Amino acid sequence: MFSTSSAYARPQQFANAYRHIGTETGVSGATPHRLVAMLFEGYMDAVVQARGGMRAGNVERKNRGIQRALRIVGEGLRENLDMKSGGRLAQDLNELYGYLELRLTQANIRNDEALLDECQRLVQPLQDAWAAIGDKVGGQSGRG
């Protein structure tokens, strides 16, 4: 399911997206699987940062976290879906990522921590599943 017929595009696109989103550490030697894992980790960290900003009343920190999470979803995960060969999985992920973008934006506008919680809960199973298949796909395939 996550090998050459994966819902995601080429590994180089992930590396480029991850660099563009704001980190270089570990990207150059990472497997395609690891690059996607790094995007999930970065997303979760960004949501935590946004939550901390909300709790502290620090609008700049909140905005920075939400904007980073939005970029990871849009430019890292969603933009790199392989809609042609990814089948139903790619379609479902595309819809989920669109929903996440909406809810993150609403969380920012409404200053609503519960919406951030929802966004984390929606991504956590994906992150967990991705980590669970790590040993099986590792660096063997050309797709994430």
Q: What are the structural domains of the chain?
A: 31-133 (1.20.120.340)
| Percent of residues, the chain, with pLDDT higher than 90 | 68
For residue 125, the model assigns a pLDDT of 97
Average pLDDT over residues 68-94: 95
Instruction: Match 């080429």 to its residue by tokens.
Output: 10
Residue at 85: amino acid letter: S
Can you tell me the distance from the alpha carbon of 54 to that of 1, in angstroms, rounded to the nearest whole number? 38
For residue 144, the model assigns a pLDDT of 37
What is the band of 5 on the pLDDT scale with cuts at 50, 70, 90? very low
For residue 67, the model assigns a pLDDT of 98
Element (H, E) at 131: helix 113-132
* Per-residue pLDDT tens over the stretch 100-136: 999 999 999 999 999 999 999 999 999 999 999 986 7
> Mean pLDDT over all residues of the chain?
85
Whether 80 contacts 39, CB under 8 Å: no
Per-residue pLDDT for 22 more than 60? no
Tokens read off for 34: 């690891």
Can you tell me the distance from the alpha carbon of 115 to that of 122, in angstroms, rounded to the nearest whole number? 11
For residue 8, the model assigns a pLDDT of 67
Name the residue among 43, 28, 39, 36 with its Cα closest to residue 6: 36
